[in-house]
């Protein structure tokens, strides 16, 4: 079989790919199969536009015709932006600011090194512009990887706090789709609940044994499914928790998954009165609460059980755990909704949140 590409850009982050031996395995495989490649490492969390631009230049000068991203969400997001930028004359940031629309992209393959962000199956790239101090996502089906290697054995050496953060991240991708006011969602309700139950059953097994192949297979498959779009089909999605957390990681540079583990339960408590039935269903079908007619009680029980689950994974439960006080909350709340720029757009689907609501959630989370 002929190789898919003549010249590959191998894109990755820091030294862990080399320490783990994955770098060597990939480059040996490329050489053995006679596939030429250039490489670009150095992707950092919140992947930078400057590196994306360097990657675009490299693809052009080297005639790259396929990108191979080896890493987690940041590496894959950076690779998506390069894949798009390499096929257009416009500066790649124009797409993120909405001044250009992608017409093509280089094919992108992935070797996943941590299940969390779901970028290996999603059509989204989020890039940080360090000069403009902006972090913006671009959504286009051309960015979806055509193939992703999701091999449990590559996850055996991940530290437990990264596993836990990843679990919170993948669960959040399901929550953002699951909690909705849309009616007649039998199938996707059931799919979301199946994925959440799978994660909740298997994540503790990884805390006991990071080399549990079967638990990793269940977790990684769930994470990939969480963000490929299927679970949100026909549902109004929410995404308020992500927007609220995003300010936290932007201002305090905390891990996205850890921030979500704090914010999500407080968000749930703040909004659940608007659709207690949905939260009662969550309590029974996902968190194992016994059926009851007390819908509000069930809703509260589901949230309490989720908090207990996050704690069991060693995830933080309050912003105090990060040493965050309330100093920046109003600034962050106004940034989250756009009120800071005089262009407020309420967050969320299940309940619309203005900046005052967001501020209240930050305050509750301390």
By CB under 8 A, tell whether 191 contacts a second copy: yes
Pick between residue 201 and residue 312 the one whose CB is nearest to a second copy: 201
Shortest distance in whole angstroms from residue 191 CB to a second copy? 5
**What would the two tokens of residue 173 be?**
């991708």
- Cα distances from 281 to residues 143, 160, 173, 194, 298, in angstroms, run 35, 30, 18, 13, 8
Shortest distance in whole angstroms from residue 184 CB to a second copy? 4
Task: List strand residue ranges (DSSP E) for 113-160, in order.
Answer: 124-129, 134-139, 147-149
Out of 4, 44, 187, 366, the only residue in the binding site for a second copy (CB under 8 A) is: 187
By CB under 8 A, tell whether 214 contacts a second copy: yes
Which of these segments, 85-93, 116-124, 186-194, 353-361, binds a second copy (CB under 8 A)?
186-194
Out of 6, 7, 135, 197, the only residue in the binding site for a second copy (CB under 8 A) is: 197
By CB under 8 A, tell whether 139 contacts a second copy: no
Find all residues with CB under 8 Å of 161, minimum gap 6, and list them. Answer: 255, 258, 314
Site mask for a second copy (CB under 8 A), range 225-244, x = bound: x----x--xx----------
By CB under 8 A, tell whether 202 contacts a second copy: yes
**What would the two tokens of residue 305 be?**
């059980």
Pick between residue 146 and residue 331 the one whose CB is nearest to a second copy: 146
Cα–Cα distance measured from residue 219 to residue 238, given in angstroms and rounded to the nearest whole number:
23
The backbone region for 144, taken as left when phi is positive above 0, alpha when psi lies in -120 to 50, beta otherwise, is beta
Cα–Cα distance measured from residue 158 to residue 203, given in angstroms and rounded to the nearest whole number:
13
- Matching residue, tokens 């030294």: 15
List residues near a second copy by CB under 8 A. Answer: 183-184, 186-187, 189-191, 193-195, 197-198, 201-202, 214, 217-218, 221-222, 225, 230, 233-234
């Amino acid at each position: 079989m002929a190789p898919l590409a003549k010249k590959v850009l191998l894109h990755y982050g820091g030294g862990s790919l080399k320490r783990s031996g994955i770098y060597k395995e990939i480059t040996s495989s490329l050489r053995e199969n006679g596939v030429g490649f250039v490489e670009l490492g150095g992707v950092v969390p919140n992947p930078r536009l400057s590196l994306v631009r360097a990657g675009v230049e490299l693809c052009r000068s080297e005639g790259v015709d396929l990108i191979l991203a080896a890493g987690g969400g940041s590496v894959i997001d950076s690779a998506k932006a390069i894949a798009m930028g390499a096929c257009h004359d416009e500066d790649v940031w124009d797409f993120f600011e909405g001044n250009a629309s992608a017409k093509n992209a280089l094919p992108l393959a992935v070797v996943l090194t941590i299940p969390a962000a779901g970028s290996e199956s999603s059509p989204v790239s989020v890039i940080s512009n360090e000069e403009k101090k902006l972090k913006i996502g671009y959504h286009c089906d051309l960015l979806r990887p055509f193939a992703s290697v999701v091999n449990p054995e590559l996850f055996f050496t991940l530290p437990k706090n990264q596993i836990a953060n990843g679990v919170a991240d993948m669960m959040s991708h399901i929550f953002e789709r699951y909690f909705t006011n849309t009616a007649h969602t039998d199938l996707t309700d059931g799919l979301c609940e199946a994925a959440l139950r799978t994660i909740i059953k298997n994540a503790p097994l990884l805390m006991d044994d990071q080399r549990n192949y079967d638990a990793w297979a269940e977790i990684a498959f769930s994470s990939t499914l969480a963000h490929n779009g299927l679970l949100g089909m026909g549902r109004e999605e929410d995404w308020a928790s992500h927007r609220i957390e995003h300010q936290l990681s932007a201002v305090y540079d905390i891990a996205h998954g850890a921030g979500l583990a704090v914010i999500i339960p407080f968000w749930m408590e703040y909004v659940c009165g608007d659709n207690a039935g949905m939260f009662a269903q969550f309590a029974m079908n996902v968190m194992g609460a016994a059926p009851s007619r007390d819908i509000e009680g069930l809703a509260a029980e589901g949230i309490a059980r989720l908090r207990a689950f996050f704690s069991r994974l060693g995830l933080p439960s309050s912003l105090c755990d990060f040493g965050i006080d309330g100093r920046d909350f109003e600034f962050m709340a106004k940034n989250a909704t756009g009120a800071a720029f005089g262009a407020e757009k309420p967050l969320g689907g299940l309940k619309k949140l203005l900046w005052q609501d967001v501020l209240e959630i930050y305050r509750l989370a301390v």
